[in-house]
Amino acid sequence: MRRTADIDALQHVLCAALGSREPVCSLARLGEDTEAFAALGRAVLDRPTLIGGGAPYAPSRPAPSRRDLDELVRRAKALEVPQVLVPQVRRSDDTGPLREAGFVPVACAVEGVVRLPGDADDALRTRLGPHRLRDLRRRHDEAAREVGWARIPLGDLDASPWAREAFTALHRRDGGPDGAGAHDGPYGAAALDALARGPLGKRTEMCVSRRRDGAVVHAALLTASHNGRGVYLLSHAVDHEEPATRDGFAAACLYEVYLGARRSGLDWVHLGRGDAAHLRRLGADLFVPGDHWLCAPGLTPSPDGAREAAVTAFAAPPVAAVPVPGPARFRRQPRFDLVDLSSNTHPFLGAGSRYPELDTTELATAYLTALGQWPGHAGLGELSTDHLLFTSGAVDGAALLLTALTSPGDRVCVTSPTFPLYEHFARVQRLSVVDVPLRGDDVSDLDVDGILAAGPRVTVLCDPNNPVGTRLDEARVRALVERGSGLVVIDEAYVEFSVKPSYAGLVGRYDNLVVLRTLSKAWGLAGARCGVVLAPPGVVEALRRVQVPFGFTDASQHAVRDRLTRAEEVLAGVRRVRAERERMAAALAEHPAVDRVFPSEANFLLVRLHQHEQVLDRLHGAGILVADTGRAVPDTCRVSLGDRQAGDAFLEALSAAL
């Protein structure tokens, strides 16, 4: 909750639960994060503590100002309370005043938010996958035959005393949203009445699940956000001894909450704090890390807070001297529960009038997880989301690298034949282009000594090569990275089609290695325009300083998230492409119009023709479009691999061209 008034209201609820005028109790009595506090010493856990917020009820609160902290410490002294707790402050907030006031951070669980930009099932399908969504819907339908769901505004609770009694009884047994065990039952009758009478009472509903005989087996509190766009799940308790609540009943109840939120036109449901993996299985796609801040005798605060990664030494001087521009600077400061009047957008035309989400941390986690399960990606577990930047296609990543890391006159090395846009972007930016051609019959031998002799600031390699389809020798690539003083960029747009490993797992070991990936090829999302830069965090920081904000649209993010949940389908598709590649390569090798088929580890074949121009003209006349690569590799064309019908049509047209 991002309003101090809401946190103050929840503090009154805490006082009611404690039976005192002031929110003072031991940290052990709060019943949450006991182990984290106990690690600071048993005395810390048992001392009387002034709670500067509504814990354990509230979601994360705004970081207090220095003036607020001075008042809190003064209040503690007047009460003769030895320590002060400011619970659940988001790490993206300015926590400098807390450190300056002598508070120490104690890590707490992340908060999970289920964002619902449209249909709830569509949103959940992209996060859970179609199989798990079907299971969730099945369990929801089964639960609906056993129980009925009802919502009771807290203002009407006096008319439903059974609901109050059942609610408090369930919370005494359950102990919290995750059913981790009982504690002092903070949602007692007094606390519930205080919440109903307070300013949050008008925005809060009790959601109950009742068996046909009237027994309540599940109860929750939902409080509407002050910006009117979502709800906070303040509590969630289930009778685990009830047979009706077996096999994922709690998740089915949450699904009912999601459906209700969408029926009300809401965009998100805040699930509270918990284990990130568990929250992810419930559909959360936004995770907000936070800390409790404690001021206690004997605790010494660390002078350093969380900081952005230092920009790489490879950054061009103008880039090193400027910050990340505009709103992208605050990409990790969640805005879902704020009234946002900062962006000059249209207020009356729905979600499409808002700018895309800037915090793609969870999507980056999903991408790294999916990629780590792909063959040939050993070492990817060493990378964090700080090593990743989403771009508008891999070509955008290449352009950003040249913009951020070079100055006019710097040398950029390319290895022809190669993707022509590398040289194009370099020349547009007034860079000196040095071509060190690939050698050998398969056009795949990397001239490491030639590249090093040129002394480039950036070398761009295409592996698998486009337009040839071959892979570079791994030992030579590593030699270039280890011996060179410049940055080595490896474009792996087609690597999923290769049986040889990716270089992505090495990014965490070298400060001069960058790997470009795309979801346009093997992942089948060319229309989503999503590229990925895997690089040392300092390089990513430099790229953020030149990247246009909001280029990665919500629609593209949704499409990527959906495709990442279908990695098995994607891998099956890659196997089909490889099979078609072998079939077409064998057929073309025997074709009288073909002089040579180059070996390929991509989703295309480079073919040298006997009568290059004549054959291409005939193919064009037959309605077959292939890429003319004759300027890069004489007398060749590049043939993309389609389905079997497309391949047969090409072979038929090729025969007719003779």
What pLDDT is recorded for position 179? Answer: 36
Q: Distance between CA 220 and CA 234 in Å, rounded?
A: 7
Please tell me the least confidently modeled range out of 29-38, 126-135, 283-292, 594-603: 29-38
What pLDDT is recorded for position 180? Answer: 35
Q: Please check the confidence at residue 333 and state whether its pLDDT lies above 90.
A: no
588 falls in which pLDDT band (50, 70, 90)? Answer: very high
Q: Distance between CA 236 and CA 610 in Å, rounded?
A: 73
Does 574-656 match 112-288 at the fold level?
no
What pLDDT is recorded for position 307? Answer: 59
pTM: 0.89
Q: Distance between CA 32 and CA 26 in Å, rounded?
A: 11
Q: What distances in angstroms separate CA 159 from CA 141, 163, 211, one per listed residue? A: 29, 9, 20
Q: Distance between CA 342 and CA 336 in Å, rounded?
A: 13
40: tokens are 């600071």
Q: How far is CA 130 from the centre of its chain?
A: 19
Q: Please check the confidence at residue 305 and state whether its pLDDT lies above 60.
A: no
What pLDDT is recorded for position 103? Answer: 94
Backbone angles phi, psi at 230, to 5 degrees: -165, -175
Q: Distance between CA 603 and CA 638 in Å, rounded?
A: 10
Q: Distance between CA 359 and CA 331 in Å, rounded?
A: 5
CA dihedral 209, 214, 217, 218 (to 10 degrees): 30
Q: Please check the confidence at residue 244 and state whether its pLDDT lies above 80.
A: no
What pLDDT is recorded for position 61? Answer: 87
Q: Please check the confidence at residue 611 and state whether its pLDDT lies above 50.
A: yes
184 falls in which pLDDT band (50, 70, 90)? Answer: very low
What pLDDT is recorded for position 306? Answer: 53
Q: Please check the confidence at residue 60 and state whether its pLDDT lies above 50.
A: yes
Answer yes or no: CATH 3.40.50.300 is held by domain 112-288.
no
CATH number of 357-565: 3.40.640.10
Quote the longest CA-to-CA distance of the chain: 98
186 falls in which pLDDT band (50, 70, 90)? Answer: low
139 falls in which pLDDT band (50, 70, 90)? Answer: very high
Mean pLDDT, the chain, integer: 91
What pLDDT is recorded for position 243? Answer: 75
Say what percent of the chain tops pLDDT 90: 70
pLDDT tens string 493-513: 999 999 999 999 999 999 999
Whether the CB-CB separation of 426 and 383 falls below 8 Å is answered with: no
Mean pLDDT score, 374-382: 90
What pLDDT is recorded for position 327? Answer: 81
Whether the CB-CB separation of 45 and 26 falls below 8 Å is answered with: yes
Q: Distance between CA 95 and CA 306 in Å, rounded?
A: 9
Position with higher pLDDT, 334 vs 475: 475
What pLDDT is recorded for position 182? Answer: 35
Q: How far is CA 643 from the centre of its chain?
A: 33
Q: Please check the confidence at residue 560 and state whether its pLDDT lies above 70.
A: yes
Sheet containing 636-640: order of strands: 594-597, 604-609, 636-640, 627-628
Q: Distance between CA 23 and CA 76 in Å, rounded?
A: 10
Q: Please check the confidence at residue 641 and state whether its pLDDT lies above 60.
A: yes
What pLDDT is recorded for position 40? Answer: 87
Q: Please check the confidence at residue 297 and state whether its pLDDT lies above 70.
A: yes
pLDDT tens string 103-121: 999 988 899 999 998 899 9
CB atoms within 10 A of CB 121: 18
CA dihedral 165, 167, 171, 177 (to 10 degrees): 180
Nearest to 329, CA basis, from 117, 114, 550: 550
What pLDDT is recorded for position 76? Answer: 95
What pLDDT is recorded for position 178? Answer: 38
CATH architecture of 574-656: Alpha-Beta Complex (3.90)
What pLDDT is recorded for position 183? Answer: 36
Q: Please check the confidence at residue 491 and state whether its pLDDT lies above 90.
A: yes
Place of tokens 């890391």: 405
What pLDDT is recorded for position 335? Answer: 86
Sheet containing 230-238: order of strands: 147-153, 204-211, 216-224, 230-238, 268-274, 110-115, 286-288
Q: What distances in angstroms separate CA 250 from CA 60, 181, 184, 209, 255, one per listed residue? A: 23, 15, 22, 10, 9
DSSP letters, 344-407, are: ---SSS-GGGSPPP---HHHHHHHHHHHHTSTT-TTGGG--GGGEEEESSHHHHHHHHHHHH--
Q: Please check the confidence at residue 177 and state whether its pLDDT lies above 50.
A: no
Q: Please check the confidence at residue 271 and state whether its pLDDT lies above 90.
A: yes
Cis status, amide bond into 417, omega within 30 of 0: yes
Q: What is the DSSP letter of 546?
A: T
Q: Distance between CA 76 and CA 86 in Å, rounded?
A: 12
What pLDDT is recorded for position 242? Answer: 76
What pLDDT is recorded for position 37? Answer: 86
pLDDT tens string 411-455: 999 999 999 999 999 999 999 999 999 999 999 999 999 999 999
Backbone angles phi, psi at 35, to 5 degrees: -65, -40
Domain boundaries, the chain: 4-108+289-295, 112-288, 357-565, 574-656
pLDDT tens string 436-447: 999 999 999 999
